[in-house]
Amino acid sequence: MSIRRFSAALQARNLEFLRDRTALGWNFIMPVLIVMGFAFFFSTGQEELYKVALTGQAELDAPIQNFLKTRYMDFIPVDDLETAISKVDRHQLDLLVDMDKQRYWVNSTSPKGYLLEQILSPYGLTRETVSGREIRYVDWLIPGVLGMNIMFSALFGVGYVIVRYRKNGVLKRLRATPLSAFEFLSAQIVSRMLMIVVVTVMVYAGTNLVVDFRMNGSYWLLMLILILGALSMISVGLLIAARITSEEAANGLLNLLSWPMMLLSGVWFSLEGSHPLVQNLSLALPLTHMIDAARAVMIEGAGLTDVGEQLIALLLFSVIFVIIGSKTFRWE
């Protein structure tokens, strides 16, 4: 590998990205608008879905039986009380009801929890507070928004660009140079990785000044999660771009991958209580592991060993997809 050729390709790709003002601006503006919009929207109480966890048994003639007949609520039985309480704190559950001891837990910053508490109030249950500083929805949301922005930037910044190079004949001309396929692909990966890291750090810092979201863990560990997550997404984009020659086909395939990941990886809402097939499918998506690890670090203050499984999964995704993509890559 020639460092000189690699550096030339890396510099060319960086300049191309920086000169594309529309793409550059969109990478900064979109996640900021999403965070601000959701921070405002979810402070108004205008939400639709309700997840209520239940522990214990209610007698048939108990007044709470009427509450259990309420429509538009998803009642989820739970066995581990402490885990369920922590999920209420993290907005994965809207309410937790202990039917044996006639008590309930709610996050007072949750619009859903507030409405459910008003419905539950006539039944005379004792209110229990969630321990510690309660987590706002925007605290839970920000890792998902950052992960989604990384996903789109990685997939389209590598996958779509390489297909465009191939269609426009750029790759054909590069093949006539001493530049090897490994050097070219490495330059694309490193260039996109640098852009993602810089943009994500700036977006994180900028939105934090306004929203002041929670960060209980290590910034270095969060950066490691960001880098491995971005690398796994870039490798997926590289896999798509390995042989496709049509920009329209590449755009369709990238959207086919990105939208299911955005919906099934817990970006906007928790998958708690969803069908087991959906939860298992989400584990096959790299975005799920990146968001779960980031949320654990930011909200729970998790350490390296706590998110070790997610980091290993992201690394495996990256290695497998990069190997397949590089093996199947063609210039023309």
Q: Is the pLDDT of residue 285 over 90?
A: no
**Which of 102, 129, 156 is a domain's end point?**
129
Report pLDDT for 225: 92
Q: Is the pLDDT of residue 34 over 70?
A: no
Q: Has residue 67 been placed in a domain?
A: yes
Order of strands, sheet of 103-106, starting from the edge strand that comes earlier in the sequence: 74-77, 51-55, 95-98, 103-106, 126-129
Q: Has residue 261 been placed in a domain?
A: yes
Question: In terms of DSSP bridges, do strands 51-55 and 74-77 run parallel, antiparallel, or are they unpaired?
Answer: parallel
Report pLDDT for 45: 47
Kindly state whether residues 12 and 100 are assigned to the same domain: no
Kindly state whether residues 292 and 168 are assigned to the same domain: yes
Specify the range with the lowest mean pLDDT, choosing from 191-205, 210-224, 236-250, 289-303.
236-250
Q: Has residue 46 been placed in a domain?
A: no
Kindly state whether residues 71 and 165 are assigned to the same domain: no
Bridge partner list, 97: 54, 104
Average pLDDT, the chain: 79
Kindly state whether residues 208 and 316 are assigned to the same domain: yes
Instruction: Give 131-169 pLDDT, tens digit per residue.
Output: 555 677 777 888 888 888 888 888 888 777 888 888 788
pLDDT band at 47 (very low <50, low <70, confident <90, very high): very low
Q: Which helix (H) or strand (E) holds 325?
A: helix 308-328
Kindly state whether residues 275 and 233 are assigned to the same domain: yes
How far apart, in whole angstroms, are the C-alpha atoms of residue 39 and residue 131? Answer: 23
pLDDT band at 48 (very low <50, low <70, confident <90, very high): very low
**Which of 79, 102, 129 is a domain's end point?**
129
Kindly state whether residues 109 and 191 are assigned to the same domain: no
Taking the CA of residue 197 as centre, how many other CA atoms within 13 Å lie in the half-sphere pointing to its CB? Answer: 15
Kindly state whether residues 193 and 231 are assigned to the same domain: yes
Report pLDDT for 136: 75
Q: Has residue 232 been placed in a domain?
A: yes
Kindly state whether residues 122 and 224 are assigned to the same domain: no
Q: Has residue 111 been placed in a domain?
A: yes
Specify the range with the lowest mean pLDDT, choosing from 33-47, 198-212, 317-331.
33-47
pTM, rounded to two decimals: 0.66
Report pLDDT for 31: 65
Q: Is the pLDDT of residue 189 over 90?
A: no
Kindly state whether residues 76 and 113 are assigned to the same domain: yes
**Which of 105, 129, 153 is a domain's end point?**
129
Q: Is the pLDDT of residue 231 over 70?
A: yes
Range picked from 110-124, 218-232, 274-288 for highest mean pLDDT: 218-232
Kindly state whether residues 79 and 215 are assigned to the same domain: no
Average pLDDT over residues 161-188: 80
Q: Is the pLDDT of residue 28 over 80?
A: no
Kindly state whether residues 94 and 188 are assigned to the same domain: no
Instruction: Give 290-311 pLDDT, tens digit per residue.
Output: 998 998 888 888 888 888 899 9
Q: Which domain holds residue 298?
A: 3-40+136-328
Specify the range with the lowest mean pLDDT, choosing from 124-128, 211-215, 249-253, 270-274.
270-274
Distances in whole angstroms, Cα of residue 14 to Cα of each of 24, 42, 113, 202: 11, 37, 47, 17
